[in-house]
Amino acid sequence: MNRATKPAEESLIERAARVYDFGAHLRGPSAVSSDETATTVVRPEPVEPVADEPVAERANASPSSGRAEGRAYTPSPIDLLPEWAAPANIAAIDRIMLAEKGMLVPGAPVGALAEEFRLIKRQLLLNARAVSEGPLKQRARTILVGSGKPGEGKTFCAINLALSLSAEKDVEILLVDGDFAKPDVMATLGLDDSLGFLDILGDSTLDPESCIVRTDVPQLSLLPAGKRTHADTELLASDRTGVMLDRLLAANPKRIIVFDTPPALAASPASVLALLVGQVMLVVRADRTTESDVREAVNLLDGCDQISLILNSVSYEPGRGRFGSYYGQEK
Ligand SMILES: Nc1ncnc2c1ncn2[C@@H]1O[C@H](COP(=O)(O)OP(=O)(O)OP(=O)(O)O)[C@@H](O)[C@H]1O
Ligand SMILES: [Mg+2]
């Protein structure tokens, strides 16, 4: 992971370019850098899709039988309860759906992806501590997950980061869907949409806490995107957003807020939110994002001083995975 203060120094791009050849995907997979000394870039390993097998068989799979975290399916504690006994106000995250998407599955054994996100969150937590000593104070507990273009893995990384962070001691994670045009967080977790972020912004009488969805993953709550209006951007750019953010942070001193956002190059919300948050985690898709996309995205998000890059979906060469051999998950 690379960090940069303002892009004036351009160290963020240059450091990323040193360890990742941005044009490699244009020349074919063999050109992708596999430099194992590139320890400053954190690389979530791509996860192969789970084989197309019946859900029942997947649910019975042995935790150690699969390569991806997703294979090690662990039922939600709420799934194990009879329907009449499941708490009504706690949403049950769909572990099977997470497994199918190759994402972290709460309660599953630690694999390569979990280890990558441990590294990522550790760095972000360190950043947050440093930011909290500056003028942003409690806003240090907010992290925006963004990228330049669609499909680079923002939602994938935001959810995995939130799941990984929620395993920390003494924190409460609130994952907010800030992508109003294409809200994917709830659906990816197998949950229905409900009142959310935009509704709170549009109605000052609505208590933000009442819109928060508690989940069966301890210490993880969600705030859906809410109902779209024509005035989304204006609402977001209003003072009310900062006030609402501060209210959410003040309501729980252990709370860390992670925002999933729309692509910065395609829509304005990410750059508006970047002005308010403590840090930005910019997702760069190894097989897709170009250097100029990264530069433009950094420029749009530089309302935040603390920008980190995360290189998503890197292919490793056989036998060279950073955690692959350790976890017996050679490709
Ligand atoms: N490292 C990864 N391993 C496996 N699948 C991935 C990875 N990163 C992203 N994906 C998959 O790629 C697709 C696009 O990812 P995602 O929806 O997170 O992108 P996004 O940046 O949020 O897109 P959008 O801008 O449309 O919201 C999804 O199906 C996601 O599961
Ligand atoms: Mg998304």
Span 81-133, pLDDT tens digits? 665 555 668 999 999 999 999 999 999 999 999 999 999 999 999 999 999 99
% the chain with pLDDT above 70 = 68
- Burial class from Cβ neighbours inside 10 Å (0-12, 13-18, 19+) for residue 185 reads buried
Contact present, 94 and 189 (Cβ < 8 Å) = yes
pLDDT(8) > 60:
no
Token reading at 179: 């992508």
Question: Which residue(s) pair with 37 in the sheet?
Answer: none
Q: How far apart are CA 325 and CA 319, in angstroms?
A: 7
- Work out the mean pLDDT of the chain and round it to a whole number: 79
Q: How far apart are CA 122 and CA 309, in angstroms?
A: 14
Question: The whole model's pTM is what?
Answer: 0.79
Q: How far apart are CA 221 and CA 27, in angstroms?
A: 42
**Ligand 2 midpoint to CA 184 (Å):** 6
**Ligand 1 midpoint to CA 161 (Å):** 13
pLDDT(276) > 50:
yes
Contact present, 48 and 23 (Cβ < 8 Å) = no
Residue 120 in contact with ligand 1 by CB distance below 6 A: no
Residue 261 in contact with ligand 1 by CB distance below 6 A: no
**Ligand 1 midpoint to CA 156 (Å):** 5
Least confident of 218-222, 228-232, 315-319: 315-319
| 179 CA: nearest ligand 1 atom | 27
User: In which order are the strands placed within the sheet that holds 279-285?
Assistant: 2-4, 307-312, 279-285, 142-146, 255-260, 172-177, 220-223, 213-215, 90-91
CA angle, 266 then 272 then 276, to 5° = 145
Cβ-Cβ contacts under 8 Å for 313 (sequence gap 6 or more):
44, 46, 153, 285, 286, 287
Q: How far apart are CA 201 and CA 232, in angstroms?
A: 9
- Of the pLDDT bands very low, low, confident and very high (cuts 50, 70, 90), residue 68 is very low
Q: How far apart are CA 136 and CA 130, in angstroms?
A: 10
Among 256, 258, 259, 255, residue whose Cα is nearest residue 270: 259
Least confident of 33-42, 218-227, 233-242: 33-42
Q: Which ligand is nearest to the CA of 49?
A: 1
- 2-54+90-95+110-312 maps to which CATH number? 3.40.50.300
